[in-house]
């Protein structure tokens, strides 16, 4: 299962995206810089390797995080 997390400011502007693939129940910790928040976001399935990294870069360009609840949306 691939999870994508956004590090964003209070206006929702994305500063970076982190994607990782792990089995159910696995976890990791992200510690944002002061003034940033970490949110899990809906994202398309990521390809493996460099193609997946390029997907994350393209998703992050001019994106904002929007919504409430556990998983939020990326808006262009």
Q: What is the pLDDT of residues 50-70, one digit of tens each?
A: 898 888 888 888 889 999 888
71: its two tokens: 């998983």
Q: Which domain holds residue 55?
A: 2-75
**What's the DSSP call for residue 3?**
E
Predicted local distance difference test score (pLDDT) of residue 35: 95
Distance, CA of 24 to CA of 4 (rounded, Å): 14
Question: What does R_g of the chain's alpha carbons equal in angstroms?
Answer: 12
Residue 2 has pLDDT above 70, yes or no: yes
pTM to 2 decimal places: 0.81
56: its two tokens: 């994350």
Residue 1 has pLDDT above 70, yes or no: no
The distance from CA 12 to its chain's CA centroid, rounded to whole angstroms, is 12
Please name the helix (run of DSSP H) or strand (run of DSSP E) that holds residue 41, with its range, or none: strand 37-41
Residue 22 has pLDDT above 80, yes or no: no
* Structural domains counted in the chain: 1
């Amino acid at each position: 299962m691939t999870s994508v997390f956004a590090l964003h400011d209070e206006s929702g502007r994305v500063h970076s995206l982190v994607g990782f693939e792990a089995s159910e129940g696995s976890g990791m910790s992200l510690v944002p810089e002061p003034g940033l928040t970490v949110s899990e976001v809906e994202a398309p399935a990521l390809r493996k390797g460099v193609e997946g990294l390029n997907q994350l870069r393209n998703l992050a360009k001019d994106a904002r995080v929007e919504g409430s609840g556990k998983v939020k949306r990326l808006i262009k």
